[in-house]
Amino acid sequence: MCGRVTLTLDKQMIQEILGDVFNVSNTPALENTPNYNIAPTNDLLSIIQTNDTYRAGQLKWGFVPTWAKNESVGYTLINARSETVDTKQTFKDSFQTKRCILLADSFYEWKREKAKRPFRFQTTDQPLIPFAGIYSQFIRKDGSKLFTCSILTCEPNEMMSTIHNRMPVILNPDTSKIWLNNTSDLSLLKSLCVPYSDDLMTMYEVSSYVNSVKHNSIKCIEPIEEQQILF
């Protein structure tokens, strides 16, 4: 699964990437950047396509279907399996018509041993990682709208498999645009949901400090070896 990410890049760099890759000029407010520990229920920087235009915004992490009785269901729907996203009642409508790109510059995963060990993953070819996502619009009882999202996952590459049995679906500039297009070719979309190349990723262990969502400082991303030397 993918349950924690970061967005630590300089705001200007984020704006430049959004402009260069997606031709986005309406960069949303980034007051919470840098953010070293983005968790479910927090907002994720996102890209959606409206007609032929890409728009940037924020989507709450934790998918709430349009038909949900209670928005708290989002706590359990932070990921959607790519293998079944087109058939599962919860996700299939959004997979067909409400796909998005969810952006971060790294993500964490935990190796389950006697004590869970956290690792940080980054891509070497893209400073801003485009995750394949889906989103939904939920109408609350008071009439207000809640926009939520989920990150798709797939089988792990060899690097990830040493830590976890799933990984987020990572796209590139070209496949991101295919993902966002208003295509009805679901088989084409599913063909994009493959493990990202090991050769384009790095990982290192961080301390259990990141385990708590209350912690949000540069210490979250420091390699554990450096912390052991310091302390």
Reading phi first (left if > 0) and then psi (alpha if -120 to 50, else beta), residue 80 is in: beta
What mean pLDDT comes out for the span 6-32? 89
Instruction: Give the span between the Cα atoms of 29 and 56, in whole angstroms.
Output: 10
Q: Does the pLDDT value for residue 67 go beyond 70?
A: yes
Instruction: Give the span between the Cα atoms of 211 and 219, in whole angstroms.
Output: 12
For the segment 166-194, what is each residue's pLDDT rounded down to a tens digit?
999 999 999 999 999 988 899 999 999 99
Instruction: Give the span between the Cα atoms of 173 and 161, in whole angstroms.
Output: 25
Give me the torsion for CA of 121, 125, 127, 133, rounded to 10°.
-70
Segments in 42-112 forming alpha helices (H):
92-97
Instruction: Give the span between the Cα atoms of 199 and 136, in whole angstroms.
Output: 34
Instruction: Give the span between the Cα atoms of 178 and 187, in whole angstroms.
Output: 12
Q: Residue 185: its pLDDT value, please?
A: 93
**Residue 118's closest CA among 224, 199, 206?**
206
Instruction: Give the span between the Cα atoms of 3 and 227, in whole angstroms.
Output: 23
Tokens for 24, please give them.
């986005």
Q: Does the pLDDT value for residue 226 go beyond 90?
A: no
Residue 227's pLDDT band (boundaries 50, 70, 90)?
low
Q: Does the pLDDT value for residue 212 go beyond 50?
A: yes
Question: Cα 102 vs. chain centroid, distance in angstroms?
Answer: 5
Annotated catalytic residues are 2, 109
Phi, psi of 95 (to 5 degrees): -60, -35
Question: For residue 219, what is the enclosing H or E element?
Answer: none
For the segment 30-54, what is each residue's pLDDT rounded down to a tens digit?
878 899 999 999 999 999 998 889 9
Q: Does the pLDDT value for residue 230 go beyond 60?
A: no
Q: Residue 10: its pLDDT value, please?
A: 92
Task: Give the burial string for 95-111 (b: 16+ CB within 10 Å, else e).
Answer: bbebbbbbbbbbbbbbe
Query: What's the whole-number average pLDDT of the chain?
Result: 93
- Asked if 189 and 175 touch (Cβ cutoff 8 Å), the reply is no
For the segment 127-148, what is each residue's pLDDT rounded down to a tens digit?
999 999 999 999 999 999 999 9
Residue 3's pLDDT band (boundaries 50, 70, 90)?
very high
Q: Residue 229: its pLDDT value, please?
A: 43
Tokens for 147, please give them.
């926009």
Class of domain 5-109+127-200: alpha beta
Q: Does the pLDDT value for residue 208 go beyond 50?
A: yes
**Percentage, residues of the chain above pLDDT 90:** 84
Residue 199: what residue type?
D
